């Protein structure tokens, strides 16, 4: 019930702009309903007039008076009513198709915009496949339901009310008999729909997890092939697939069983109406023609009475998928945005110093990662963060750029807390070169000026030259117009890193963070990256996160982290002289150089 209520709010939010189309649709549905519920009465009249004609024709005394005129007139009205019904449904279907297309497009744009405002921790805690499935399967389910089920909900609801009203205007006794089985139908429907709802919710969550696994395996396909782990990958796929199959089967069984049950009730209900109508015809005060006409009308109504219920239940699985999709998209919409102070200050470079002051931080409450870390950096200094995996180096980077906020303590630029700056201003001043560079679909030129789309060709080439990638680019047949993407590109891993450095140089950040920029490359490429790093670091305050210690020998300050604590701090020479943890790391690495 909570999901249904939340889904109602979700759809109301996106469908509100289309109230005029809904008003027109409501009027058309009203016309359609009037036509479809009035039509059986004309069928009854036609049968009654046909019976009258037959009686007159069979009697020699009245044969001359027998005529088809009244019958033909009634039959023409009957046909006209069905034409009106079909035309109204066609126009309303077109209107609702327009609403479905436009509203789901708005949902997709809104979801994408929301993801640009969300905190990084959501993306760290959800797989790419699960996020992608909200854009694909969930929105597709919503579109399908709106495109196919919305018109049925309108028509079925209106027809149900219209049929009840017409039955009571014709004969109250038969109307009550026709409706007698309704509580049984409602009880069965409520039970089955609850079971199906639980199964469909589980199914969509299982599909999200399956998509996450598939995305992970496809991303690491080369690694799987290299290590001969294809069979292990398939084995890992099986539990996710089995969970989807099980939840899907359960959902289909519960959704599929409802329609036959209601069809059976409809047939039983029709038989009861025929029996009761026949009894009234034999024992009532109506003429045989009128009694026969009444029975025919109510047999028609008995079939139509269950038709809206059967129609809606046949769409239940689709409707439930749409409700589940609304829930999953609402979960994203309800995620908190990044905190951007409305009256935030503008960061205009670093004038004196950056201070990480007694910072405590935890990704998960109760599991602290950083324990009172303090680092002071003067303008123009290069500070290197070293330490074993999991020591908190990348966490410091995440805090500097406000991907996360500290639990306690503060990070300040010239004495101003980083949380007081506008996010856009802060990130314009902080550039990051990540360990795993990302290329976007487009030309090489577009990729280099990704952070500054208005940069001219001269600036793009200057940045590429500083990053030592210009000569390679101009050697390509199409040069800077070469089309690349992250999956298909002419670049090696090291050249991608040089592209990333060129992109950062172009944005001209005041504070630079280099996160393992030389990892996983050969020594020749490492030398090129190191030269590019030296170019980009020159004259800037910088943090360098490194495992290869020979890349940070010239750092003004080296901070050694272990288990979220600073255990050593100083220059390379000072730390070697202390003969502590850093010296041990350095000597161990030099053995293999």
The residue extents of the domains of the chain are 1-334, 353-590
Residues in the chain: 593
CA–CA gap between residue 404 and residue 548 (Å, rounded): 27
Predicted local confidence at residue 2, as pLDDT: 64
Residue 66 is predicted with a pLDDT of 67
Q: How much is the pLDDT for 521?
A: 54
The whole-number pLDDT of residue 512 equals 83
Say what angle helices 19-58 and 69-117 make with each other, to 10 degrees: 160
Give domain 353-590's CATH number out of 1.20.1370.20, 3.40.190.10, 3.10.105.10, 3.40.50.300: 3.40.50.300
409, 412, 416, 419: CA torsion to nearest 10: -70
- What are 140-183's pLDDT values in tens digits? 888 888 777 777 777 777 778 877 887 787 777 778 887 877 78
Pair type for strands 382-386 and 557-562: parallel
Q: Hey, do 1-334 and 353-590 end up sharing a CATH topology, with the first three levels equal? A: no
Determine the pLDDT at residue 4. 67
pLDDT of residue 284: 62
- Of 287, 515, 297, 294, residue with least CA distance to 392: 515
Q: So what's the pLDDT on residue 290?
A: 63
Positions in the chain whose pLDDT score sits under 70? 1-4, 44, 48, 61-64, 66, 221-223, 226-227, 229, 281-293, 486-490, 516-528, 535, 589-593
What pLDDT does 128 receive? 74
- The pLDDT, as a whole number, for residue 555 is 82
Reading the block at residue 553, the tokens are 């020998």
pLDDT of residue 122: 81
- If we measure between CA atoms, which residue out of 432, 398, 416, 411 comes closest to residue 346? 416
Q: Name the CATH topology of 1-334.
A: ABC transporter transmembrane region fold (1.20.1560)
The pTM of the full predicted model, rounded to 2 decimals, is: 0.65
């Amino acid at each position: 019930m909570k999901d249904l209520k939340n889904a109602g709010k979700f759809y109301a939010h996106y469908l509100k702009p289309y109230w005029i189309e809904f008003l027109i649709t409501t009027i058309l549905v009203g016309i359609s309903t009037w036509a479809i519920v009035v039509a059986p009465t004309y069928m009854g009249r036609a049968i009654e007039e046909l019976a009258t004609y037959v009686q007159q024709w069979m009697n020699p005394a009245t044969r001359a008076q027998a005529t088809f005129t009244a019958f033909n007139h009634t039959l023409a009205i009957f046909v006209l009513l069905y034409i009106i019904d079909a035309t109204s449904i066609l126009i309303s279907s077109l209107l609702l198709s327009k609403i479905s297309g436009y509203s789901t497009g708005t949902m997709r744009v809104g979801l994408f915009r929301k993801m640009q405002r969300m905190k990084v921790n959501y993306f760290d805690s959800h797989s790419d496949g699960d996020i992608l499935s909200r854009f694909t399967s969930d929105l597709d389910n919503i579109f399908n339901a709106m495109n196919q089920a919305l018109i049925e909900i309108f028509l079925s609801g209106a027809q149900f009310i219209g049929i009840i009203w017409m039955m009571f205007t014709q004969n109250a006794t038969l109307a009550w008999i026709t409706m007698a089985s309704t509580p049984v139908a409602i009880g069965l429907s409520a039970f089955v729909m609850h079971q199906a709802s639980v199964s469909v919710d589980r199914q969509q969550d299982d599909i999200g997890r399956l998509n996450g696994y598939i995305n992970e395996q496809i991303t690491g396909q080369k690694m799987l092939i290299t290590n001969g782990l294809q069979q292990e990958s398939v084995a890992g796929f099986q539990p996710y697939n089995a969970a989807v199959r099980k939840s899907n089967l359960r959902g289909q069984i519960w959704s599929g069983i409802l329609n036959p049950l209601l069809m059976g009730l409809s047939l039983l209900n029709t038989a009861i109406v025929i029996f009761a109508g026949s009894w009234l015809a034999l024992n009532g005060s109506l003429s045989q023609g009128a009694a026969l006409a009444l029975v025919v009308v109510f047999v028609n109504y008995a079939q139509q009475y269950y038709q809206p219920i059967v129609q809606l239940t046949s769409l239940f699985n689709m409707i439930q998928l749409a409700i589940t999709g609304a829930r999953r998209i609402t979960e994203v919409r309800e995620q908190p945005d990044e905190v951007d102070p409305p009256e935030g200050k503008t960061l205009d470079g670093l004038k004196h110093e950056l201070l990480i002051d007694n910072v405590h931080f935890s990704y998960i409450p109760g599991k602290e990662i950083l324990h009172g870390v303090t680092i002071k950096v003067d303008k123009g200094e290069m500070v290197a963060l070293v330490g074993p995996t999991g020591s908190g180096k990348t966490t410091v980077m995440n805090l500097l750029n406000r991907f996360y906020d500290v639990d306690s303590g503060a990070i300040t630029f010239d004495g101003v807390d980083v949380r007081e700056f506008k996010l856009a201003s802060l990130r314009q001043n902080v550039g990051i070169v990540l360990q795993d560079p990302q290329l976007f679909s487009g030309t090489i030129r577009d990729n280099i000026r990704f952070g500054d789309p208005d940069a001219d060709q001269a600036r793009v080439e200057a940045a590429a030259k500083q990053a030592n990638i210009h000569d390679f680019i101009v050697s390509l047949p199409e040069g800077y117009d070469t089309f690349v993407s992250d999956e298909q590109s002419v670049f090696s891993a090291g050249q991608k890193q040089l592209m990333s450095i060129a992109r950062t140089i172009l944005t001209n950040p005041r504070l630079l963070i280099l996160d393992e920029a030389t990892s996983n490359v050969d020594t020749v490429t490492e030398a090129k990256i190191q030269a590019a790093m030296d170019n980009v670091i020159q004259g800037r305050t910088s943090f360098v996160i490194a495992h290869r210690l020979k890349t940070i020998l010239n750092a003004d300050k080296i901070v050694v982290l272990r288990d979220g604590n600073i255990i050593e701090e100083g220059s390379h020479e000072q730390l070697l002289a202390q003969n502590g943890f850093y010296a041990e790391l350095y000597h161990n690495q030099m053995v293999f150089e």
